[in-house]
Amino acid sequence: MTFTISPPPHVKSRESVKSVMWGTVAALIPVSLAAIYLFGLPALMVILASVIAAVVTEVIIYWAASQPITAGDGNAVLIGLLLALILPPDIPIWIPIAGSVFAIAVAKYIFGGTGTLIFHPALIGFAFLLAAWPTLLSTASTPHLGSFSDLFLETGAGRLIEVSPALVLLGGAFVLYKRYVDRRVAISATILLIPSMLILGMGWQLPYILTGGFFLGLIFLAADPVTSPVTKRGRLVYGIVLVVLILIQLHFNAYFTGLCFAILLMNAFGPFIDKNTVPTPIGGR
Amino acid sequence: MKIATIKTPDQVIIPLQQHAGAVCNSLVSVGDIVSAGQLIGDGESRIHSSVSGEVTAVSELPHPTGKNVPSVVINIHEGAEKEIEPEELSTGKLRHIIREAGIIEPNGLSTLRTKAEIDTIIINGTNTDDLSSNAALMLDYPAEIVYSLKALMELVGAKKAFIVIELNSEALQVMRTETIPDRNIKVIATPMYYPPGTEDVLVKNVAKKKVPRGSTPEDRGVLVSSIAAMKAIYDAVHGIPMIKKVITVAGAVGSPRNVLVDIGTPIGHVIEECGGCNGTPAKIIVNGAISGTAQYTDQVPVIKTTTGILVQTEKDVNREPPAPCINCAWCVDACPIGLMPHLLYGYADSAEFDRCADLYIDDCIECGLCAYICPSKLPIVQMIRYGKHGIAEAEMEDLS
């Protein structure tokens, strides 16, 4: 009789990279549907164009580089979907395509693929579009929390993600519960942001913060496992410094774009924070 | 829960190394007739025959650790049944008895390692993943365990003792009732977590003392022992050396249960006695699913450090190829020691052993939690072992 031998452990948890990526995608489906409901066909076109462009780019690049094609793990779909959600719906269809191609080709592939990349690809794609075609990306309106119903369906939404803060929070609760995004970053940043705004006399800006875009940024983008630090202390530091950067951006009335650049800037500090917060093992001096 | 007994096999294989240390010298040779409880190996530890019969071979045979170890093979004689002589052991002091009876903790060390001053004893009664032999022992022999604990406390002069048991264990109430008369023995309920048996973590959580790197709990006046050792001490005081072990048989077997097994019984025989395998066995693991060792043959014997046998069929065996690390930090959160397993994996993978050393790779206890939780299915434990090996090799080179 032959038996398999292998190093321990001999059981493994059910979670895999696939389940993490596809689970995060699933968490964003409700808000995507709400966006299609509110904006109609243009929103669907933006989402489809962005996701398909991301997957096709990934397949072509990995095929051309003779590397195993990993598009099935859902990472490219997630990047495409996140990028589509932070764009306004009334844009030419080549805009999300250009953004996705840039996100996958430059921010993901050139930086070494899933796991080794430094900057969040969806945010890099967004920053690239914003730098290249700023006029095309201007939103029709800036959402703010006027009435209670805005939490569920924000009719003043300028971007796909802003249609429903409640649905983003619902998806966010799911990924936080499943630990698909980092709890320490998301929770420390969210909890710290509101009191510090009140203390600094920025309370009048709160309605602009309680929007889908900010919840997406703090939960899905800032706490993204790949780009946030790994040490326990480091993740708290990351969340706290991120809040400081967001507050500076808010001072200049930069809302969603300000948040995106705050997260990108923090991405750059991630490895630095990790290096300086290496934990002392139990029994260490 | 009742501990079952099984039929004695026709042949037992008793390795001369059942502890962490050098192989014992064989005191018998082929053709000798031995009786149960007779001393057959001596050296750093002591090894006794678990059955009565004839020695048919003394040679290198497979051992649960994966290597071949000199072992004594004994064929059981029906007629050669001879009782153990209790007087031989029960004379003398307890410290002497523990050594003479060859009592070994599940981690391979002797119960009393130093003569350092001890003020606290911690008995680890938690179960490791799917193994419930500790709970079974406490349910069946609560008085014996407390008896040994009290004797041990008296011997080392400990003022207090803790028995650590999981919150949901049936044994909790039994041990609480059993220890009511003793004010200085406390039963502590811990939530379910793995690995509960890590000495340093236990000492930190229960005795509130930190064990610095390079020293042992004994240096801080804490002795960590096990339920299995308590039962063995009770037996030893009553004249029976460590020749039997309660182990858990789990997984794809006919009737998973806790059984009392003679040391040296091949695990294939134990599995047969527990109802055999459901389907074709694909993997046989000794000592638990998360940190145990997969066996290449079912002819390895049960030894003193064995706590359980797990049988897996093909559908339980994980063959998913590893994906790249995604920095999710689950391993960092899971590590009971506070290491950075994903970095150790990466540095060991690229043979940067000095960086592994900077990140305290030697502190790793190889509990396997990081590799269990890893969504990328990375063989982190294997890579950490490679890293430790690389460091050891580099040190050897420096010396020569």
pLDDT tens-digit readout, A204-252 = 888 888 889 999 999 999 999 999 999 999 999 999 999 999 999 998 8
Rounded-to-integer distance, Cα A142 and Cα A127, Å = 19
Other beta carbons within 10 Å of A73: 22
The answer to whether A277 faces chain B, any CB pair under 8 Å, is: no
Q: Of A5, A6, A10, A182, which to mutate for an interface test with B (greatest number of B Cβ within 10 Å)?
A: A10
pLDDT at B302: 94
* Whether the Cβ atoms of residue A100 and residue A233 lie closer than 8 Å to each other: no
Tokens 């934990």 belong to A279
A162 has a chain B CB within 8 A of its CB: no
pLDDT in tens, A169-180: 999 999 999 999
The topology (CATH level 3) of A18-276 is Ammonium transporter fold (1.10.3430)
Number of H helices, E strands in chain B: 13, 17
Cα A2 to Cα B6: distance, rounded to the nearest angstrom: 25
Residue B27 parent element (H or E): none
pLDDT exceeds cutoff 90 at A59: yes
Helix A75-85 crosses helix A41-64 at what angle (to 10 degrees)?
A: 140
- State how far Cα B319 lies from the chain centre: 27
Q: Which of B287, B175, B157 lies closest to B223 in space, CA to CA?
A: B157
Contacts of B281 (CB under 8 A, 6+ apart): A1, A3, B252, B271, B298, B311, B312, B313
How far apart (Å, rounded) are the C-alpha atoms in residues A54 and A108? 11
Count CB atoms within 10 A of the CB of residue B374.
Answer: 28
Whether the CA torsion B288, B290, B291, B292 is positive or negative: it is positive
Question: In the beta sheet, which residues pair with residue B260?
Answer: B5, B246
The answer to whether A113 faces chain B, any CB pair under 8 Å, is yes
Name A183's Cβ contacts closer than 8 Å, sequence gap at least 6. Answer: A176, A223
For the ranges A14-28, A135-149, B270-284, the lowest mean pLDDT is seen at: A135-149
Res A79 pLDDT > 90: yes
The answer to whether the Cβ–Cβ distance between B324 and A114 falls below 8 Å is: yes
Q: Which residue has the tokens 């032999």?
A: B133
The whole-number pLDDT of residue B193 equals 63
Amino acid at residue number A80 = G
Q: State the greatest distance between any 2 C-alpha atoms of chain B, in Å, as a whole number.
A: 64
* Partner-chain residue, chosen from A3, A182, A230, that has the shortest CB–CB distance to B284: A3
Rounded to an integer, what distance in angstroms lies between the CA atom of residue B396 and that of residue A60?
Answer: 48
pLDDT for B129? 67
Chain B interface includes A1 (CB < 8 A) = yes
B245 DSSP β-pair partners: B261
CB count in 10 Å sphere of residue A215: 25
Domain ranges of chain B: 4-84+241-313, 88-237, 330-399
Q: A-B interface: how many C-beta pairs under 8 angstroms?
A: 161
Residue A264 structure tokens: 């990108």
The answer to whether the CB of A8 falls within 8 A of the CB of B312 is: no
Tokens standing for residue A153: 């369906």
* Cβ-proximal residues to B278 (8 Å cutoff; 6+ apart), any chain: B252, B253, B254, B313
Element (H, E) at A198: helix A183-199
Compute φ and ψ for B288, nearest 5 degrees: 95, 150
Sign of the torsion formed by the C-alpha atoms of A145, A149, A150 and A151: positive
Angle between helices B133-140 and B171-178 (to 10 degrees): 40
| Residue B295 pLDDT | 93
Q: For chain A, what are the domain ranges?
A: 18-276
Distance CA B64, CA B128 (A): 18
pLDDT at A39 over 60: yes
Calpha distance B131→A10 (Å, rounded): 14
**A284 touching chain B per CB within 8 A:** yes
Residue numbers in B near A282 (CB within 8 A) = 200-201, 204, 210-211, 336-338, 363
Q: What pLDDT does A158 receive?
A: 86
Q: Is A10 on the interface with B (CB under 8 A)?
A: yes
For residue A52, pLDDT beyond 90: yes
Q: Is B82 helix (H, G, I), strand (E, B) or coil?
A: coil
The C-alpha angle with vertex B94 and arms to B28 and B86, in degrees rounded to 5, equals 50
**Nearest in space to A94 (alpha carbons), one of A38, A142, A132, A59:** A132
- Tell me the C-alpha distance between A232 and B332, whole Å: 8
This complex has an ipTM of 0.90
Residue B299, helix vs strand vs coil: coil
Is residue B278 within 8 A of residue B254, CB to CB? The reply is: yes
Cis peptide before B195 (omega within 30 of 0): yes
Q: How far, in Å, CA of A157 to CA of A42, rounded?
A: 14
Short-list B166, B203, B159, B213, CA closest to B182:
B159
Residue (of B252, B18, B1) closest to B134 by Cα position: B1
CB contact under 8 A, A232 and B332: yes
What is the C-alpha separation between B64 and B294, in angstroms, rounded? 8
Q: What is the pLDDT along chain B (400 residues), one digit of tens a residue?
A: 578 888 888 899 999 999 888 899 999 989 888 888 888 999 888 899 988 889 999 999 999 988 899 999 999 876 555 556 555 555 558 888 888 888 998 888 888 877 778 889 999 888 766 778 888 999 999 999 999 999 888 888 888 999 988 888 888 888 988 888 888 899 988 876 666 557 777 888 888 888 888 788 888 889 989 899 999 999 888 888 899 999 999 989 988 999 999 999 999 999 999 988 888 889 999 988 888 899 999 899 999 999 899 999 988 888 888 888 998 999 999 888 889 999 999 999 999 999 999 999 988 888 888 999 999 999 999 999 999 999 999 888 888 7
| Fold of the domain built from segment(s) B88-237 | Rossmann fold (3.40.50)
Residue B130 has a pLDDT of: 72
Report CB contact under 8 Å: A284, B284: no
Whats the size of chain B, residue-wise? 400
CA angle B320, B322, B324 (to 5 degrees): 145
What DSSP letter does each residue of B326-393 carry, written as one string? ----HHHHH-SS---HHHHHHHHHTT-HHHHHHTTGGG-----HHHHH-TT---HHHHHHHHHHHHHH
B375/A182 touch (CB, cutoff 8 Å), yes or no: no
Place of tokens 């407390």: B146
